[in-house]
Amino acid sequence: MKERSTPAQIKACRALALERNRQLFDNAHTLNRAANAMLEVENLDMEQFEHYRALRKKADLLFEDAIDHLCVLNEDFPPIPQASQHSQAVERELEVAS
């Protein structure tokens, strides 16, 4: 017999997944800011530039992971009617953050 999740369980799982998604975006933004700060130094040498590129690559990969995660999250935990307004507000916050 297949067990069904309650709306409260789905809402809790979705909230946890959205929080993890927010963390992924935050980490990507942190790396991106660190990389951009490296470009503001005077006399940027090749080693520093390569470090900048590595940070940007990590940030880009994290952004891709966060976007993929959000897509999967929306497939696996679609908003339930009672939570749709709240989840849309959270998703709008994530869009603004990125």
pLDDT in tens, 3-29: 677 888 888 888 999 999 999 999 999
Number of CB atoms found within 10 A of residue 72's CB? 12
**pLDDT, greater one: 57 or 85:** 57
Total number of domains in the chain: 1
Q: Is residue 66 assigned to a domain?
A: yes
Position 75 in a domain: yes
Question: How large a percentage of the chain has pLDDT more than 90?
Answer: 54
**pLDDT for position 1:** 39
Classify residue 11: in a domain, yes or no.
Answer: no
Confirm whether 16 is domain-assigned.
Answer: no
With respect to residue 12, please indicate whether it lies within any of the assigned structural domains: no
pTM for the complete prediction? 0.70
DSSP 8-state assignment for residue 44: -
Would you list the DSSP string of 31-93? HHHHHHHHTTSSS--HHHHHHHHHHHHHHHHHHHHHHHHHHHHHHHSPPPGGGHHHHHHHHHH
In a domain, 4, yes or no: no
